[in-house]
Amino acid sequence: MKNFDFVIIGSGIAGLYSTILAREHGTVLIITKGSIEDCNTQFAQGGIAAAIGKDDSPKLHFKDTILAGAGLSNEVAVKILSDEAPDRIAELVRIGVPFDTLYGEIALTREAAHSRPRVAHAGGDATGLHIEVTLSKEIREQKVRFLEHSLATQILVNHGAVEGVKVFDCHTGAMEEFGCRFLILATGGAGQLFKVTTNPAVATGDGVALAYRAGAEIVDMEFYQFHPTALRLPGVPPFLISEAVRGEGGVLRNVDGHRFMPDYAPEADLAPRDVVARSIVYEMNKTKSDKVFLDVTHLPAYTITTRFPNIYHFCLEHGLDIARDLIPVAPAAHYMIGGVRTNTWGQTNLAGLFACGETACTGVHGANRLASNSLLEAVVFSKRIIQRATEKTKAVSIAKDEGLADVRTDLGRRQIQKKVTQPRLATLQELLWGRVGIIRDRHGLIQTVDSLAAWQDSLPAPVDRCSHELNNLVLTGRLMAEGALLREESRGAHFRNDFPSALPEWKRHIVFQKGE
């Protein structure tokens, strides 16, 4: 077995930033199932939030994040996030990320639920891509060892401590084991659970599935964020229309031309994402349409073309001049809020296992992520992981939220009454989109967890990348559906028709652990 100090799984901003920091303290191996550039980071348009403006402060950033979290955010983690954000932006600048500037300072814009303009961007609406390219270039120049087209299939654990990882070569089918002192999960989200998603094909819930099977705690899986505005054109894959478009003055209209968001929320088009997404669904149902429109035609054309060059050119390639034409949009699955439970140092309940980025649940987002906090969370807690790993501490405690209890459970076994056929990816995506999507209810959730349990029992042992990913998606989807069924209330990104209000007795976390 080849041994490293750090094995890092994933090549998004969390994995790459962790690698740049870790290589100063030992040997590092990056494992990624695609190429090093395949990840969600490059699709992040909106930007990265930090209180670096003259009229802003970490205290205001903290307040906005807590408010968006709907009562479930870990306040200690949020304070760390908001306090350390300016320093992490400065580090990204030193590494070479070319943030857009105005009069010599980093240009800042405002997004929904932020009380101040505090979102930094690069290349207008290509922030994630610029960060990804900058970090991956740095790693290639430093000759860090990485395995591309290699899928981690099992975390090797001995007496509650990580010893290494088993890896499948997607090209040759060979299996290999790598030992490590520290294993960092940075595998991204699970957007491929849903029929309509802004995520790339690599987002298949691998980190959550790996961690759960190894005995790590998985938390808050019922909270999944649906972006309100993805491009809706026949034959065109969902393409994210950044929330920053509404931050710059864009407004939503239904197919009859009515500006409807003031009917649903006092913040109108700048309401939190979950409110906007549900409002769009209600409006589409009301008008019997599969879309609404985002209108920026009243903005100066130069604002649109210079602030959102990628969106402008993508739409233009598909026959839309958004400076003149309304943009057809509808919600799409976007961001996994729950994940592998960590403390404020990125540690899990397994010694030596850390998680960061979208696959982790640090407690920052609570029940609803504040826009542009995700890239920030990745760099803040990646930094803390390397700090803790190099302190040679053996502490592996999970920081509990003050005053918030846990509901602890496992998936268990369900009585399957009928024979089921093996699922296909499209069948799974259709089921999750229809039953565990933006609006949920008990009947649909019961049907879903029963189907997923039956599929889990019927799936054969995986033999290639696609079958490994399908196994991971079925497990991750079941964790999400089971959590949504247990939480009999509506809070943040989790909404149930049969329990439409937030309830004080549900101000707690649902934690899954194998064998619990």
Q: Which of 88, 110, 273, 278 is catalytic?
A: 273
**42 in helix, strand or coil?**
helix
Q: From CA 370, how far away is CA 361, in angstroms rounded?
A: 14
Contacting residues for 303 by C-beta, under 8 A, at least 6 apart: 248
Q: Where on the phi/psi map is residue 336: left (φ > 0), alpha (ψ -120 to 50), or beta?
A: beta
The pLDDT value given to residue 396: 47
Q: Does domain 228-333 have CATH number 3.90.700.10?
A: yes
Question: Phi/psi at 173 (nearest 5 deg)?
Answer: 80, 5
Question: How far is Cα 388 from Cα 167, in angstroms, rounded to an integer?
Answer: 26
Pick 125 or 245 by higher pLDDT. Answer: 245
Chain segment 335-348, per-residue pLDDT in tens: 999 999 999 999 99
Give the residue extent of every domain in the chain. 228-333, 406-512
Average pLDDT, the chain: 92
Tell me, yes or no, if 424 is annotated catalytic.
no
Tell me what pLDDT residue 414 has: 63
pLDDT tens, residue by residue, 187-215: 999 999 999 999 999 999 999 999 999 99
Taking residues 217-224, what's their average pLDDT? 98
pLDDT on residue 9: 97
In this structure, of 83-97, 105-119, 153-167, the range with the lowest mean pLDDT score is: 105-119
Q: Is residue 416 over pLDDT 80?
A: no
pLDDT of residue 399: 46
* CB neighbour list of residue 399: distance below 8 Å, 6 or more residues apart: 74, 76, 77, 343, 344, 363
Q: Tokens 């995506």 — which residue?
A: 429
Is-contact 275 325, C-beta < 8 A?
no
Contact call for residues 361 and 349 (beta carbons, < 8 A): no
pLDDT at 401 over 70: no
pLDDT surpasses 80 at 299 = yes
List Cβ neighbours of 415 (8 Å cut-off, separation of 6 or more).
Answer: none
Closest CA to 340 of 209, 181, 195: 209
What are the tens digits of pLDDT across the range 440-458? 999 999 999 999 999 998 8
Whether the full predicted model's pTM is greater than 0.85, yes or no, is yes
Give me 50's structure tokens. 């930090």
Q: Are 329 and 320 in contact (CB under 8 A)?
A: no
- CATH match for 406-512 among 3.20.20.70, 2.40.110.10, 1.20.58.100, 1.10.620.20: 1.20.58.100
According to the model, what pLDDT value does residue 403 have?
53
